[in-house]
Structure 1
Amino acid sequence: MRYDGKVVIVTGGGSGIGEATVRRFAQEGASVVVADNRAEAMRGVLAAIGGEGRHLGVVVDVIDPDAIGRMIDDTMARFGRLDTLVNNAGMGSFGKVTDIDLDHWNTVMAVDVASIFWASRQAMPHLVATGGSIVNVASASGMAADYGFAAYNAAKAAVLNLTRAMAIDHAPAVRVNAVSPGLTATPLATGLTGNPAIMQAYDGVLPMARPARPDEIASAIAFLASDDASYVNGHNLVIDGGMTAHTGQPHFTKLLGGDSHLAGADTAVR
């Protein structure tokens, strides 16, 4: 298996993409540090992958630098090495800049960006020692803007450029990459995926005609962290079912009644 003898930290490992990532690395032989600020969720995932025998659970608030330091220290004390850091912990945010206050803005930046900076900084010497890697979970929302998601858009865009900066600063010793999921069926996204009106609005926006599953994101994370991606560095792997391949123009084949009508409309859409 690709990760026999390897040690992987996954922040936000208690649910959603983080949980799926924990499970994927464990299935491929890694010892996984399940890090989450929700003790019960962390323990549930840890129990599901086999408990403390081969793995480790850590309760950590990623906006607390001391807690992140303890997470790294506990990992090294237990396993003596670190091969991959998956910076997955994050939070959503809804509101225009005129709707949110400075405390909210600072919290989003702390959870979504500063936590990646500090965890990566603390982990870097240990990753250098193993020739390891970092995978940051960004978002398709960091690649362009969404209505009403100002803080989240800004934070995830920062994650992408922080990924690129670390990738060039720390190569060739450590590779740093990111994944940018689109709409994914996680507990955090229930307000979107569980709302029929919103999902109807996604009709024509998602070429795959459904949200991603968390395990589909996890498989991409596992690839980027592996030796199969040994020359992939500073890359943002978009996992959105083709959503950002769309120009944003109307769905002409639906509006015009099929391909046979498009020939006559060809000059109109140029």
Structure 2
Amino acid sequence: MTLAVDLSGRVALVTGGTRGIGRGITLALLEAGAAVVTCSRSDGEAVPGSSHVVCDVRDPEAFGSLVRSVVDERGRLDVLVNNAGGAPAADAATASPRFHEKVVGLNLLAPLACAQAANAVMQQQDAGGAIVNISSVSAARPAPTIAAYAAAKAGLDSLTTSLAMEWAPRVRVNAIDVGLCRTEQTDDHYGDDASVAAIERTIPLGRMARPEEVGAVAAFLASDLASYVSGATVACHGGGEPPAFLLVSKGLT
């Protein structure tokens, strides 16, 4: 086996694949040779080299139709990256039930429905397929102001292990727990340059991730290099979050 990520001849579908981390994933898959289709709720600008379709992943029928159109046009579907997700900050004590329902729907139930649609195709293919769920480090630690989001991502990590067992051996399912990442929304989430720099000093690798670095992990998990990797959650967080006592002792708080 050649130690290179090679997705030549494979067809990938990336939800939320035109901006931020999703764009980095799309670029990585394209660089590895895959034909990539992206989807989002809005008619965004396609990443050069890819195709873009407007589709709300929260609508199972619409996404199922998208999967069928991809297969009709390209003959197969080899890779699904469930990237679409996110949530605004909200006080868990006062956020409405409707708010929590929407957050869980987008970050847990939608990936499940999308995975079901992709699996139905992949199970019929000789080469099977690979599903990569984009999760978050928030799944494994307290996450004040994004409690429902973190709970949904914890559910997504759990779902990953269950689907990997149910859908084996033809379909591999893995997740990536992503840490802080620099995107076009960095300032909105983390503040000005000084605030971002202060945050980055707390990360063991000294900086936030770049979207294409998350993309490289996704491309690996989709490739034959990860042919015996399934049911795994890969941490992509620059070394993790130091404990509070260490931050205090180093004057980083």
Mean Cα displacement is larger for which, 149-158 or 188-197?
188-197
Task: Please say if residues 46 and 52 of structure 2, whose CA atoms lie closer than 8 Å, have aligned partners that are also in contact.
Answer: no
Q: 1:197 to 1:103 in 2, by over 3 A?
A: farther
Q: Structure 1 residues 75 and 44 mapped into 2: Cα distance closer, same or farther (>3 Å)? A: closer
Give matches, 1:211-226, under 5 Å. 211-226=208-223
Offset, 1:233:
0.8
Aligned mates of 2:120, 2:238 — CA distance in 1: 36
Moved over 4 A (4+): none
Once the two structures are superposed, residues 33-71 of structure 1 have per-residue CA deviations (whole angstroms, 9 ceiling, x without a partner) of 1111121x2x332xx22xxxxx43211111111211121
Match of 2:165 in 1: 168
Counterpart in the other structure of 2:37: 33
| CA–CA distance in structure 2, aligned partners of residues 104 and 92 of structure 1 | 9
Question: Does the residue aligned with 1:61 lie in a helix, a strand or coil?
Answer: coil
Residue 86 of structure 1 deviates from its aligned partner by 0.3
The CA distance in 2 between the partners of 1:30 and 1:37, in whole Å, is 23
Q: Does 1:69 align with 2:64?
A: yes
Determine the C-alpha separation between the residues in 1 that align with 2:185 and 2:160. 23
Counterpart-to-counterpart distance in 2, 1:193 and 1:252 = 20
CA–CA separation in structure 2 for the residues paired with 1:160 and 1:174: 16
Deviation at 1:73, TM superposition (A): 1.1
- The structure carrying a bigger helix percent of its residues is 1
* 1:250 counterpart (241, 246, 251): 246
Aligned to 2:236: 239
Q: AA paired with 1:71?
A: L
1:122-141 paired onto structure 2 within 5 Å: 122-128=117-123, 129=125, 130-141=127-138
User: Tell me, which stretches of 5 or more residues in structure 1 are unaligned?
Assistant: 50-54, 256-270
1:12 paired to 2:12: no
The residue identity in structure 2 corresponding to 1:44 is: A
**Which residue among 131, 141, 145 is the counterpart of 2:142?**
145
Q: Structure 1 pair 85/44, CA: closer, same or farther in 2 (3 Å)?
A: closer
Aligned length: 245
The 1:155–1:82 alpha-carbon spacing in structure 2 relative to 1, beyond 3 Å, is same
Aligned with residue 80 of structure 2, among 71, 77, 85: 85
Q: How much has 1:174 moved relative to structure 2?
A: 0.7
TM-score (norm 1): 0.85
Task: Work out the CA distance in 2 between the residues paired with 1:11 and 1:185.
Answer: 19
Tell me, in whole angstroms, the C-alpha distance in 2 between the residues paired with 1:194 and 1:27: 32
What's the CA shift for 1:252? 6.5
Q: Provide the identity percentage.
A: 34
Alpha-carbon distance in 2 for matches of 1:203, 1:64: 37
Q: What is the alpha-carbon distance in structure 2 between the residues aligned to residue 237 and residue 2 of structure 1?
A: 20
The alpha-carbon deviation at position 99 of structure 1 amounts to: 2.5
